[in-house]
Amino acid sequence: MTKIALITGITGQDGSYLVEYLLSLNYEVHGIIRRSSSFNTRRIDHLYKDSHAENVNLFLHYGDITDYGRLSGLIREIQPDEVYNLAAQSHVRVSFDMPEYTGQATALGTTCILEALRKNNGDTKFYQASSSEMFGSALPPQSEVTRFHPRSPYAVAKVYSFWMTVNYREAYGMHASNGILFNHESPRRGETFVTKKITSAAAKIKKGIQKFLYLGNLNSKRDWGFTPEYVKGMYDILQLDKPVDLVLATGKSASVYEFLEYVFEYADLDPDKHIKIDPRYFRPSEVESLLGDISKAKNTIGWSPKVNIKDLAKIMTDFDFLENGLEPIGEGVKIMERLGLNWTKIPRNMI
């Protein structure tokens, strides 16, 4: 019997890779998208066929995670076996400017989904996209037993969603799990996130259409991995007989400046000639160091990532060279091929 999955945030970086993976497993996939005056499905356009064609396995529905009535109706209609809640206002710096909206979308939206599942189909497996930002100022390495100390409205909202997921699991016996994912990046990362800003700028500087890259805190350390490996971990979590909360990370961290150095060295650029610091990009309260302990994930689902931060820098830089009409340097392309990902089929319009 074909399994049915419902994904919120399907048009985002994680959602686009997850739907690709689920379709490769012959799932029927449904996604919730927000109504907009402009199309916002570019990351999944290469997957979405004519809805009137035969053998369609991907269906998109207008909705919003804060609209309980719409969510409840969709869940009742679709009857999903699995729900992946990836939707959120996910930009940490922006959450300081929009704390109320961040709370509504990132926190209360989770409650709407959980309550809709409880009332319509208590047997559906639920995955909540939790974040390493929840650890905040907690000393590294951080694991499932590390105490949360969030340092942004986004992180506070994610903590709320984490505990709401645990509460529904304990109160109603629901198969509700949290994946506490540390930073995971890819060529599909949004332009306002620091890794993408760096790789995109390297390509534009190389082409001569940009001179400077403006950044904030270069000393923050993060545990950076490759998104396609992380969505496989999301799936593996929901295949367990019992719900669980798991950290997914690489177990290694690097500063923003170190990532910058990897990219610029690969692109044969001197960062000191092109980097400027702009105070606007500093957060009111910083998170200095995030480093994940994946011991439990290794033991529970056998999950262990293969792509390190230097490989990640090469993959993203090669893609941005290609996007800007430059010949890729090549090492990133080879890494993708080694992972079984067909570089030539990555759509140009997905970013």
Catalytic residues: 131, 133, 154
Query: Hey, what are 177's tokens?
Result: 């799990």
DSSP, collapsed to helix, strand or coil, labels residue 124 as coil
DSSP 8-state symbol, 139: P
Residue 320 burial (CB count, 10 A) = 25
Distance separating alpha carbons of residues 233 and 236, to the nearest angstrom: 5
Task: Point out which residues pair with 244 in neighbouring strands.
Answer: none
DSSP, collapsed to helix, strand or coil, labels residue 248 as strand
Query: Which alpha helices (DSSP H) does 239-323 contain, by range?
Result: 256-266, 295-301, 309-323
Distance separating alpha carbons of residues 179 and 247, to the nearest angstrom: 6
Query: Which residues have CB under 8 Å from 202's CB, separation 6+?
Result: 263, 264, 266, 267, 269, 317, 320
| 206: Cα separation from own chain's centroid | 28
DSSP, collapsed to helix, strand or coil, labels residue 5 as strand
23 contacts 57 by C-beta, under 8 angstroms = yes
Q: How many residues does the chain have?
A: 351
Query: Which alpha helices (DSSP H) does the chain contain, by range?
Result: 13-24, 68-78, 92-97, 99-102, 109-120, 153-172, 194-207, 227-238, 256-266, 295-301, 309-323, 331-338
